Amino acid sequence: MEFSTIIGYVAAALTTGAFFPQAIKVYKTNHTKDISIGMFLLLTIGIFLWLVYGIILYQMPIILANSITLCLAAYILYKKIKIDH
């Protein structure tokens, strides 16, 4: 495996892993008041576009990370909309 691919997988693991604490907190507390809907909407769209980009280039680190992150971000966004609106 190339060094650049290893860097990609490590970066993917770290950035994807960063979403787990927030998703778990939302799940446990059912509280989203302090989360900005505008920021999370833009972030979720951006993650989706990164996923599309990874699919076009067939770059597995990008595809895997953004598939998982998109699920987590979409869950948080869904809860934000459901709870606060």
Other residues' Cβ atoms within 10 Å of the Cβ of residue 21: 9
Tell me what pLDDT residue 3 has. 95
pLDDT, position 1: 83
Question: What domains are there in the chain, each with its CATH number?
Answer: 3-84 (1.20.1280.290)
pLDDT at residue 8, rounded to an integer: 86
Instruction: Name the pTM for this structure.
Output: 0.87
pLDDT below 70 — which residues of the chain? Answer: none
Nearest Cα neighbor of 35 from 82, 77, 85 is: 77
